[in-house]
Chains A and B, each alone.
Chain A
Amino acid sequence: MSSILVQVIVGGLLLGAVYALFSSGLTLIWGMMNIVNFAHGDFVMLGMYVAFVVWTLLGAGPFLGAPVAALVLATLGIIVYFGLIRSVMKGPMLAQILGTFGLALLLRYSVFWGFGANFMTLPENLVGGTFDVLGIRIQASRLLAGVVALLVTLGLHLLLTRTSLGSKMLAVAEDSTAAQLMGIRPDTMQAIAWAIAAGATGIAGALIATFFYIAPTVGETLAIVAFVTVSLGGFGSVPGALVAGLLIGVIESVSAYWIGAVYKDIVVYSLFLCFLWFRPQGLMGKS
């Protein structure tokens, strides 16, 4: 393998870790309450803008941007849960889909209205420099984003599987009435799930903002990336989302390298449709 291809694959893995992070939020919500958040990509977009504002106002990098974005988005998640999702969940299918779709438009165009449609970027030197490891060149910003995203995703997985909070959330996902009889409040658990999922998108947004373009419409693309990742990893599975996210990152980078950047989205979207059509249980699920 040529060293350029290795470099492309490593870059894809690092980007894929960020994909995995925000996709695990989508999969968590799907697993707990069978709702697809169509505004998920716009949550990530919002995280990018929070990071941008933190940088312009305070001149602080991702070390401050990520926690602030996580906090802002987690708060938004809780507001969205109590203001919209809780009642929409009991409504017809049309209301569930419309609700988060409307939210997506609302967020996307509020940002468009406030910041304009122009593409923005954080300054190159915010997380500057490149490393040379064994002849492979890696941007520091991508390395930082990839490693942090990987750690947060693993942390999320541990939170869901190894803590009592995680067990309670799992109980609500399994059977919310039975959980209620055991003294667990489904409402609280679901609100926490929305806070965690939205917080994850906030961190992912702040990380990705260090090397990605920032624009109001970026959420549309990222939402589809999250859909692909979740469908590939199996709806509801965080480890599945992690593996699938890394895979999508690599597939995207390699196809951009081999057949051109224009076609990388075509490859990923086609893959998504093939999975939905022929293997909706994901790569690792049982039929």
Chain B
Amino acid sequence: MRRLIWPSVALALVIAYPLLFSTPFQQRLGALILLYAIAASAWNIVGGYAGQVSVGHVVFFGCGAYASMAAYSHFALPPLVGIPAGIIVSVLIAAVIGVPTLRLSGHYFSMATIAVAELVRLIVTNTEFLGAAVGLSGPTVPRTMLDLSFTSALPYYYLFLSVLLITLGITWWMANSRMGFYLRAIRDSERAARSLGAPASRTKLYAFMLSAGLTSVAGALYAMMFGFVDPESGLGILISVKMLIMAALGGAGLLFGPLVGAAILVPLEEISNNLLGGKGAGLTFVVYGAIIVLIARFQPGGILTLIKRLWARGGKTPEPTVAAGATHAP
């Protein structure tokens, strides 16, 4: 029972956060942290646990965002209806592009995913049905509760929190199942994993599809909160980059890594945008870039790995901790 105390306290604090910090800015900030944490956690399944650094996850994010907005603008349905459609389309896309792309390893995989993302963005930008360069909008005035269009960020906060808990639950379950063990073995050495009989291609593909489906939910929630999606906000490469850097900063391949990363980077971005206005956008990404370079150079395991190591050093046994994915790829 004692080991449940700290997690319960943390959960209670997270639930109480928007009541303790109740200005609209703080509530919105909390909601955005959770939203990005969902997307980064979804990325973490493929990028962290399986070690396949995808820079194209924005494709799935965009699928969810566009599906929910299309449900409204083309069929006058609540955007919520688009979520299952977005999941199905993303999982299908993941299956189709996953088969040839996951055969590529390391840098090749990352390059291919960038190309897929840019290709999809260009195609959508030239597709009338998806609003071309202008994009699609959601309901301006909520018709029913089902439209999930609120002026306050509070309902979004609890909605995102429940989705994040489900995402983390699925990730935890996956990490502790046979699949999780296969994925970590593949990350450390795909050749060794294969030779020991782990079905590497199939496992990577399943992880990619699972991750895609969850990412599309994040995209749909994003579009519902902001009420619109366009090629830049739904399919821009920077969204992939944000997922990647949040997971890596917190700790890629660790359950709570993406949440920690989001809790650091989202406030940084919001506050600098608020202080510096439009000019701040550039500076924010300069800082983002610098942080990524510093993590890659000094602490590839992320902050949680660093804390674990310091913790172990402070304790009685200085056990060597293995950083997430710190083993060499051949």
Contact = CB atoms under 8 A, between A and B. Distances in A.
A110 B248 CA distance: 22
A255 to B, nearest CB: 13
B84 to A, nearest CB: 28
B171 to A, nearest CB: 17
Contacts of B111: 36, 227, 231, 276
Interface stretch (B75-83, B149-157, B322-330): B322-330
Contact of B325 (A88, A92, A117): A92
User: Secondary structure at chain B's binding surface: helix, strand, loop or mixed?
Assistant: helix
B325 A94 contact: yes
Interface in A92-125: 92-99, 101-110, 112-113, 117
A224 B114 contact: yes
B283 A84 contact: no
Contacts of B115: 224, 227, 269, 272-273, 276
Nearest to A221: B118
A112 B292 CA distance: 18
Interface stretch (B23-31, B58-66, B101-109, B161-169): B101-109
A270 interface: yes
Nearest to A264: B122
Contacts of A38: 110
Contacts of A277: 100-101, 103-104, 112
A227 B123 CA distance: 20
A6 B199 CA distance: 52
Contacts of B21: none
A112 B325 CA distance: 33
Contacts of A263: 126
B306 interface: no
A87 B293 CA distance: 11
Interface string A256-282: 000000110110011011001110100
A107 B285 CA distance: 10
B19 interface: no
Nearest to A235: B108
A174 to B, nearest CB: 17
Contact of A276 (B104, B286, B326): B104
A105 B285 contact: yes
Interface string B278-318: 01001111101111111111001000000000000000000
A135 interface: no
A127 B272 CA distance: 42
Contacts of B282: 109-110, 112-113, 117
A106 B108 contact: no
Interface string A64-101: 00000000000000000001100110111111111101
Interface residues of B, number: 51
Nearest to B101: A277
Contacts, number: 153
A87 B298 CA distance: 9
B221 interface: no
Nearest to B253: A94
B300 A276 contact: no
A184 interface: no
Contacts of A220: 118, 237
Contacts of B248: 94, 98
Contact of B300 (A94, A112, A265): A94
B122 A269 contact: yes
B172 to A, nearest CB: 21
Contacts of B55: 97, 101
A35 interface: yes
Interface string A155-197: 0000000000000000000000000000000000000000000
A92 to B, nearest CB: 4
A262 B108 CA distance: 26
Contact of B296 (A98, A113, A278): A98
Contacts of A231: 111
Contacts of A278: 100
B104 A98 contact: no
Contact of A93 (B104, B285, B290, B329): B329
Contacts of A101: 55, 241, 244, 292
B119 A269 contact: yes
A96 B283 CA distance: 24
A35 B107 CA distance: 7
24 contacts: A34-B107, A84-B293, A92-B325, A94-B47, A94-B51, A94-B325, A95-B297, A97-B106, A98-B248, A98-B293, A98-B295, A102-B293, A105-B286, A109-B285, A220-B237, A224-B115, A227-B114, A262-B122, A266-B119, A266-B122, A269-B115, A273-B119, A276-B100, A277-B100
Given A98-B296, A102-B293, A106-B293, 8 more contacts: A95-B300, A102-B290, A105-B292, A109-B289, A113-B282, A269-B122, A280-B104, A280-B108
User: What are the nearest 10 A-B pairs in CB distance?
Assistant: A102-B292, A106-B289, A105-B289, A99-B296, A113-B282, A95-B300, A109-B285, A277-B100, A102-B293, A36-B107
